[in-house]
Amino acid sequence: MAFGRNKILAVLAVVAGAVMLSAATANAATSAKAVEIRGEVIDTWCYFSGVMGGEDAVVGTAHHTCALWCAAGGIPVGVLTEDGDVYMVLKIEGEDPLAQSDAVMEIQSDVITAKGLHYVRDGVNYLVVEEVVANDGITNTNHLDYGPVPPNSFPKPKN
């Protein structure tokens, strides 16, 4: 037999190893890709969990004060693009996102254009923001539709 049983077994072992290695590394990190993205800076917990309603209600002016609370509270901040992709922010212009500074607070609910490095791991988009190259401010005036979300994020009028 020109291709003996031992060789077949060796090939099969290599194939099996490759298959298992592929399965084991399917979730491994990918290399960084330089990107420029435009999107709204959002509170990711309220957006993904639905704890305060649908996705349209937990962005923009309606959710601005809650977004401040969540950013100050250490909820990870994300950038929501027009395509509906969310990039979880790992750094902002060299600063850690949960550092007790004003940088992350000042851009809550703003539509920004950011240059940075994009990583993907296990279905999650991560972004190291190297530079915010444009800030269009808050463009989504959805408080006209939803009011403040949650309602207690706006003070009750005094009679």
Partner 1 sequence: MKTRTRQAIGLVLGASALAFASASLAEDFSSGSQAKEFGLTEETKAMFSGKVVDIACELTGDCVDACGNGNRNLGIIRDADNKLVMVLKNAQFAFNGPAYDLVAFCNKEVDVDGLMVGDPEYYNTQFYMVQFIREKGAAQWTKANRWTAGWKARNPDVAEGKGPWYRRDLRVQKQIDADGYFGLGEKVDAEYRNSLQ
Which residues bind to partner 1, rule: CB under 8 A? 5, 8-9, 12-13, 15-16, 19-20, 23-24, 26-29, 32, 44-45, 48-51, 61-62, 64-66, 68-70, 72-76, 84, 86, 88, 90-91, 96-100, 102, 105-106, 108-109, 117, 119, 121-124, 126, 128, 138, 141, 143, 147-148, 153-155, 157
Q: How far is the CB of 56 from partner 1 (least distance, A)?
A: 14
Q: Write a three-state SS string for 4-49.
A: CHHHHHHHHHHHHHHHHHHHHHCCCCCCCEEEEEEEEEEEHHHHHH
Q: How far is the CB of 82 from partner 1 (least distance, A)?
A: 15
CA–CA–CA angle 50, 36, 88 (5° rounding): 30
Q: How far is the CB of 8 from partner 1 (least distance, A)?
A: 6
Q: How far is the CB of 65 from partner 1 (least distance, A)?
A: 5
Q: Do strands 86-92 and 124-135 pair parallel, antiparallel, or not at all (unpaired)?
A: parallel
Write the Ramachandran bin of 147: left for phi over 0, alpha for psi from -120 to 50, otherwise beta: left
